[in-house]
Amino acid sequence: MSTRHYVLLATDGFIKLPLDGEVCTENRKEVYIFGFSGGLLEVDGVKIEENKYLDYKNPKNWNMILSKKGTATIPSPMLWGEVGDQIYVTLINIGMKYRPDLMDFHTVHMHGAHVATQIDGFPETSFGVPMWEETTPITPPPKATYFFHPENPGTLMYHCHVEASEHVQMGMYGALVIYPSMKSLAVNGITKSSTSGYWKLNGKVQKHIPKTATNRNFAYNNIHSYFDKEYVMLLSDIDSSWHESVLKNIPFNAVNFKPDFWLVNGRAFPDTLCPHPLSGDSDPNLVQINYDSYVHVKTNEMFLLRMINMGYQVVPWHIHGWHFMVVGKDSHLSPFLKLGEDRKHLDHQLTEMGFTATIGSGETYDLIIAADDKRGLYRNYIVRGQDGFPSLCKQLREIQNINPSAISNIPEEPVHCPNPKLINYIEICSQPHGDPNDQFFPQFYPMHNHDDYKVTNNGVYPGGQLTFIQADAPDKQM
């Protein structure tokens, strides 16, 4: 159990959304946003080095805090903790750099959290946090500290609830992730041997779970919620004309909402393939999970997608190549995964599976995918040919001779701009066939909003809510 103290600074900023499907494109539209900057200040009283400036009790930090005006991002910093933690979130309203006349209050609403109405962030039933009006500060900032004591693991979100139609559209939201604790796992029969390092369910060793796993490799207090890697997929939508109206102080009627950009973790394809600007911090308290949206796994790994919809439209999220298992929704374990009286029995016939999850605004889904090994299924046809049909690779080489542009070049993760490494499908086909571990890798699968007109940027395909899953060869073992 830890005490985690986050400090969020409400302000404004700009994002630059791509206008075409070229990786690293410079053809972009600037969109004015609101949001929170800041992040994790301290854990159990120990300050996070890069965030020490957020210690608002020290007057020496006040100028630095105010200098963050105009640095809002979409999404806002991720908040996370474990069951049983004490999570404190201090909100300081530092005001707008590009609309200094805007004196709006802001709040933090932890969406899905069991909290008292006084700290729920809905200002109509509680309060808002006024702006720190000083430019050369001599008095401490007005602030409010929200508190959340999570009792259950799951995927949640937070957002400002002041004038929510506008402030949410403008971008004041982020992910809130709660992991099980060792204690909450143990209450449900899941323990880790301190001598052998093996994970156990009711005393029975679970060899498929590596010894290196921690409580933060479970989505819920349930053995079937184990994952090797996890990704937050925070979905939202942008009507850039609304944002422009706010910037220019022109009234906008919210019922005219008509989005032209659809985002995953604040970015539209192809930016969804690039490392997220908020990722890459060194402190383990910051890097447990981040906003990267290019899913990169190894064959046979289990990966968790924490789907969050902060947009105003329903998203049919479709995943190519594999089927997902719904392990939870809105921070509740799927009833199909609840174990029987003996806490061993699971009826797989009843497991909720799918290839498209329909996610409404304000909903979260936790989806686990096993990156199954498909080599056995496809080796003959793709590499060797079958039943009189030439191999697919041979067919592709013929197509390439006729029209090389028909064969795609796929940006491989990590994607470095301005010179991303591209891999061509023919290259994948022509890899040496001697080592069965290396055939067909990497594999690339898209996942996207299946309202396919939302896989666009300002009407241009491809864009929007689209990203890739890259699956590499399995670890060489056995």
Q: What is the binding site for Cu ion (CB under 5 A)?
A: 106, 160, 162, 167, 172
Closest to 234 measured CA to CA, from 55, 459, 73, 413: 73
Closer to Cu ion by Cβ: residue 106 or 243:
106
Q: Measured between alpha carbons, how far is 38 from 36 in angstroms, rounded to an integer?
A: 7
Q: What is the separation of C-alpha 418 from the centre of its chain, rounded to a whole number of angstroms?
A: 24
Closest to 77 measured CA to CA, from 273, 254, 287, 251: 287
| Nearest distance, CB of residue 424 and Cu ion, angstroms | 47
| Nearest distance, CB of residue 104 and Cu ion, angstroms | 6
| Nearest distance, CB of residue 12 and Cu ion, angstroms | 10
Longest dimension (CA), the chain: 82
Of all residues in the shown chain, the one whose CB is closest to Cu ion is 160
Closer to Cu ion by Cβ: residue 175 or 319:
175
Judging by beta carbons within 10 Å of its beta carbon (0-12, 13-18, 19+), is residue 149 exposed, middle or buried? middle
Cα-based distances in Å from 273 to 91, 235, 277, 407, 469: 31, 15, 12, 19, 9
Closer to Cu ion by Cβ: residue 162 or 310:
162
DSSP per-residue string spanning 280-346: --S-HHHHSS----SEEEETT-EEEEEEEE-SSS-EEEEESSS-EEEEEETTEE-GGG---TTS---
Closer to Cu ion by Cβ: residue 67 or 165:
165
| Nearest distance, CB of residue 182 and Cu ion, angstroms | 37
| Nearest distance, CB of residue 236 and Cu ion, angstroms | 15
Which residue has 């991002």 as its token pair? Answer: 73
Closer to Cu ion by Cβ: residue 97 or 229:
97
| Nearest distance, CB of residue 32 and Cu ion, angstroms | 14
Contact 123, 172 (CB under 8 A): no
Q: Measured between alpha carbons, how far is 4 from 279 in angstroms, rounded to an integer?
A: 19
Q: Measured between alpha carbons, how far is 313 from 110 in angstroms, rounded to an integer?
A: 20
Closer to Cu ion by Cβ: residue 5 or 167:
167
| Nearest distance, CB of residue 93 and Cu ion, angstroms | 8
| Nearest distance, CB of residue 247 and Cu ion, angstroms | 16
Closer to Cu ion by Cβ: residue 121 or 420:
121
| Nearest distance, CB of residue 162 and Cu ion, angstroms | 4
Closer to Cu ion by Cβ: residue 83 or 172:
172
The pair phi, psi for residue 277, each rounded to 5°, is -60, -25
SS3 of residue 49 by DSSP: helix
Cα-based distances in Å from 391 to 353, 378, 424, 473: 32, 10, 17, 21
Closer to Cu ion by Cβ: residue 93 or 449:
93
